[in-house]
Amino acid sequence: MDKLDSMQLFTRVVELRSFTQAAQGLNLKRSTVTDAIKQLEARLKVRLLQRTTRHVSPTLDGEAYYQRCLRILADVEDAEMDFAGAQPKGLLRVDVHGSLARHFLLPGLPDFLAQYPEIEFYLSEGDRFVDLVREGIDCVIRAGELKDSDMVARPLGTLPEITCASPAYLARFGTPETPDDLANHRMIGFRSSSTGGLLPLVFHQNGKARDVMLPTRLSVSGAESMKEAARRGMGIIQVPHYGLTDDLAQGTLVQILADFPVGALPVALLYPRNRQLSPRVRVFIDWMVKEFARRSPPHTTALHPAV
């Protein structure tokens, strides 16, 4: 095993915190991975990993070597592309909420893969927190306010939200004209993936944001389930407008309190701050910025790429 192969293997062990998972991901025997790491440590004359029966973690020297390996491996891939005229290649792992994927990513993905035929794409869906380094994810696309983290955020645009309910719900509880009329209403609760708490309804009035927490008999952690529950008359919801086009046109959901805007969710693409981007990730980020701008409906604000 040459030095570059050893570096690549070592970085996967660090990221997965497991010899077994690294071996499986690289289609190697576990004993091959173990022996390679022992040989690497012997050559460098330093201990790189702390090993227990259940856990593998880098030492201080191992963490420093890991960062150097990331830069070297990315530089090698860049050099091969620049001088050999090669295209980005390899497995690209992206995590994105399913609704965002269906509206902004999947429609143009065949063209992206046709442009870069040596890229293999893995798409995972979810709202949960993703440990990009440990899970081997290259980047994630998220909607909502970003918390301080060690991630680099590339803004894509914003998604204006609206307040709505089903005709059956409004027939039962009445149509509110102002947020003050919500006293006898109920909402479908949406639980934050980061805190687990229920998110309030938000209304902007006279330049100020006002939070309104209503009773709820149903709480969910997914936007699609929340919209389906609203269609069935279970409460008021606030969701991005782009995902309700068909419902509003067909009348299965009705916008309410339009004079009291909700605001807009920022959308960003995030990747680890301490990871040098590979060519395949860089081309995907550039493509995603343009794709979001191109496919943004009238009620969505996109950050148009520079030309």
Residue range 4-36, pLDDT digits in tens:
889 989 988 887 888 888 888 788 898 899 999
As given in the structure block, the two tokens for residue 255 are 């916008």
Looking at residue 306, its pLDDT comes to: 44
Do the domain assignments include residue 146? Answer: yes
d(CA 244, CA 226): 12
pLDDT band at 307 (very low <50, low <70, confident <90, very high): very low
Do the domain assignments include residue 307? Answer: no
pLDDT band at 259 (very low <50, low <70, confident <90, very high): very high
Q: Are the C-beta atoms of 267 and 153 separated by less than 8 Å?
A: no
Asked if 152 and 282 sit in the same domain, the reply is yes
pTM: predicted TM-score of the whole model, two decimal places: 0.69
Residue that finishes a domain, picked among 84, 115, 144:
84
- pLDDT digit string, tens, across residues 282-297: 899 999 999 998 877 6
Domain that holds residue 230: 158-264
Residue that finishes a domain, picked among 60, 84, 108:
84
Asked if 198 and 254 sit in the same domain, the reply is yes
We report the CATH number of the domain holding residue 188 as 3.40.190.10
Residue that finishes a domain, picked among 84, 117, 136:
84
Asked if 151 and 117 sit in the same domain, the reply is yes
We report the CATH number of the domain holding residue 75 as 1.10.10.10
- pLDDT digit string, tens, across residues 93-146: 898 887 888 889 999 999 999 999 989 898 887 655 566 655 667 888 988 776
Q: Are the C-beta atoms of 142 and 97 separated by less than 8 Å?
A: yes
How distant is the alpha carbon of residue 186 from its chain centre? 30
Give the closest residue to 286 by CA, choosing from 305, 261, 264, 263.
305
Write the single-letter amino acid at 2. D
Asked if 51 and 62 sit in the same domain, the reply is yes
Do the domain assignments include residue 185? Answer: yes
Question: How many structural domains compose the chain?
Answer: 3
Looking at residue 196, its pLDDT comes to: 74
Asked if 74 and 106 sit in the same domain, the reply is no
